[in-house]
Structure 1
Amino acid sequence: MHQHTRVRAHRTPGQVATETRRELAAVFAAVDNPAAMERLFDDLFTRAELHDLILRWRLMKMLQEGVPQRVIAETLGISLCKITRGSRVLKQPDAIVAKLLRRARTTQAS
């Protein structure tokens, strides 16, 4: 039987989740090109999970473009609650997603 030589202090599920979230963020940040990121998405997410992620990104883009929430709900088939949450995120002065959307829009315009 394999024995661990180093004993780790007991960590709560919340601590493990926080550590894993940081680790995952570092992994995503290390991906250096879009094709590799797409491969990572395919490796990590089911079709349904990826669909939800894509839907969330489309929602954020539409909000950033000023599309009315009811139009977004009809177009994407999602609840106003999800849309309101996205809207609140974009209104935060330090929202990373807002910065990324602006950068993407600037890149597409050039």
Structure 2
Amino acid sequence: MRIDQELLEVILSIKNKDELDSFFEELFTQAELSDLSLRWKLLKDLHAGMTQRKIAEKYGISLCKITRGSKVLKKNGSVALKVLDSMN
């Protein structure tokens, strides 16, 4: 299932970080927000060169979750990789 295009437009239209934070808190559960934040943190750690085992230990998560993130960063045309590269 792909994300609703109207929802993407709404997210793009919110330019204020506090409003976007509130919108996400209204839309997602705390567990969903935690999962999303964790996924971003592990992508950043992978990008920085941290080993998958070290990341698993750091966050107390399975290697399966980290492997998925690793595949994202290896994917041809990965937007996540492009974003992470631009942050350095």
Q: Structure 1 length normalisation: TM-score?
A: 0.71
Partner residue in 1 for 2:6: 23
Unaligned runs of 5+ in 1: 1-16
Give the % identical residues: 47
Equivalences for 1:27-38 in 2 at 5 Å?
A: 27-38=10-21
Residues 44-100 of structure 1 show CA distances to partners (whole Å, capped at 9, x for unaligned) of 111111111111111111011010000000101111111111001001131111122
Kindly indicate whether residue 71 of structure 2 is the aligned counterpart of residue 82 of structure 1: no
Equivalences for 1:1-110 in 2 at 5 Å?
A: 18=2, 21-103=4-86, 105-106=87-88
Q: Structure 2 length normalisation: TM-score?
A: 0.87
Larger RCO, structures 1/2 (Cα 8 Å, 6+ apart): 2
* Regions of 4+ moved over 6 Å: none
Shift of 1:36: 2.1
How many pairs does the alignment contain? 88
**RMSD between superposed Cα atoms in Å:** 1.6
Unaligned runs of 5+ in 2: none
CA distance in 2, matches of 1:37, 1:31: 6
